[in-house]
Every structure is written in structure tokens, then in C-alpha cells.
Amino acid sequence: MSRALGVSGQADHPKLVAAVERVRQAVKRGGHAKLALPTNHPALPRTAAQLREMGVGYTNCAPAPEVRILRSMTEQVAEQRKLLG
């Protein structure tokens, strides 16, 4: 959505915040449906508490497991390289 609005990398840009709010309101008007957004996604980094305040009914944890594993492995390799001098 941020890319489509031309505000990539600007998670708190007024255009993006307003668009998310419009979607949230539309979902709310739809009845029993709830908004689903990931926590801490780079395009819209929000905590679980912030998402709950927004009325999000489902969230998964970002980043994806593959990204978490890659970060961990990268950190471990960097640490070993430091130890080897």
C-alpha cells in the first residue's frame, strides 16, 4: 500500500496512515470481519498493542521466520569473524 501511495519507507506518512484508517473503517462497517496486519512490518511497523488499538483482529509476527534465521546466522558469522581477528 505504501508503494502504491508513493510513500515507501515512510511508515508514519499521513497518506499511509489515512489509507490504513480508511481500510480499518471499511472492514469495521463490514460486520464481523476484522483487520489483519503483521506486527513490526517494515512498511507499517506497529507493535501488538498499537495494532490492538487499531482494532486488528489477527496479526502474525514479522519479520518472517526465514528473515529471523538469516539475521541470526549473519550475526553469528560476524561474531566468529571478530573472534578470528
- Tell me the DSSP string of the chain: -HHHHT-TT-TT-HHHHHHHHHHHHHHHHTSS--EE--BTBTTB---HHHHHHTTEEE--BSS-HHHHHHHHHHHHHHHHHHHH-
pTM of structure: 0.61
Average predicted confidence (pLDDT) for the chain = 89
Confidence at residue 1, expressed as pLDDT on a 0 to 100 scale: 87
Confidence at residue 19, expressed as pLDDT on a 0 to 100 scale: 93
Tell me: the pLDDT tens digits for 26-64? 888 887 888 888 888 888 889 999 999 888 888 888 777
Q: Where are the domains of the chain?
A: 2-84
First-to-last alpha carbon distance for the chain, in angstroms, is 44
